[in-house]
A = this chain, B = another copy of it.
Amino acid sequence: MARRRVKEDRRGEIAKCAGALFAEQGVRATTVRDIAEGVGMLSGSLYHHFKTKNDIVHELMRQYGDDLVARYEQAAVLGGTAIERLRRLFHACLEANLQNPDEEAILIRELDALFREPEFGYIHEMLVQIESLFVGVIQSGMESGEIRADIDVHFVYRMMMDVMGAVPRWYDPSQHAKDDVVEGWIDIFTRGVGRAAAE
């Protein structure tokens, strides 16, 4: 077990360094020579640990994808009002960003580019899974009377996901309190910014 730890560490070290570079400048713009330099070896040596450059991306995304879905599933589970579950979903999004900022940045950044290729199909399956979790929560809120039933569920979902998807572009844990952001979202999404809502 300890032996395996050491063996895996080198691989993990490469993945972590590559993740930082991918997040910063994009997968395509990052060369295997960049990655190798980052971990102090030559590009040829990388291929002892990974078969291809994209395999590093797969390693990062498969791991992060599992983590992300697990977080959302736990957040969406019954318990509390629909708004409270929505709050937990938003919280899960920021929490994931805090713990794996590079992976989240890569996920969002490559969605319309690299991840459209067939070999990354599992990523879109994951997004569908997350969408159904969100839609389920919103819908249950409509049935319970917490959420307006006169708006399209998927329209609401899209707005929420678009807002969350932009997080890697601006979220800085040292500048923004996680709870403040979540409450800000919940506040605006539930009550709106209209003056009437505040009275």
Residues of chain A whose beta carbon lies under 8 Å from any beta carbon of chain B: 25-26, 28-29, 83, 109, 111-113, 138, 145-148, 150-152, 155-156, 158-159, 162-163, 165-166, 169-170, 184-185, 187-198
Q: Is the pair A158, B147 in contact by a Cβ cutoff of 8 Å?
A: no
A57 to chain B, nearest CB (A): 15
**Looking at the complex, which one of B109, B148, B170 makes contact with A195 (CB distance below 8 Å)?**
B148
20 pairs from A and B in contact (CB 8 Å cutoff) = A28-B29, A29-B113, A112-B169, A138-B193, A148-B197, A150-B198, A151-B187, A151-B188, A152-B184, A155-B184, A158-B170, A159-B163, A162-B163, A162-B165, A162-B166, A165-B166, A191-B192, A191-B194, A191-B196, A191-B197
Given contacts A113-B25, A162-B163, A169-B112, contact A194 B198 (CB under 8 A): no
Q: Is the pair B155, A198 in contact by a Cβ cutoff of 8 Å?
A: no
Closest to A147 in B: B193
A191 vs B157: C-alpha distance in the bound complex, in angstroms? Answer: 16
User: What residues on B are CB-neighbors of A138 within 8 Å?
Assistant: 193
A109 vs B159: C-alpha distance in the bound complex, in angstroms? Answer: 18
A53 vs B79: C-alpha distance in the bound complex, in angstroms? Answer: 55
Q: Is the pair B159, A194 in contact by a Cβ cutoff of 8 Å?
A: no
Closest to A148 in B: B198
Closest to A109 in B: B112
User: What residues on B are CB-neighbors of A113 within 8 Å?
Assistant: 25-26, 29, 109
A156 to chain B, nearest CB (A): 6
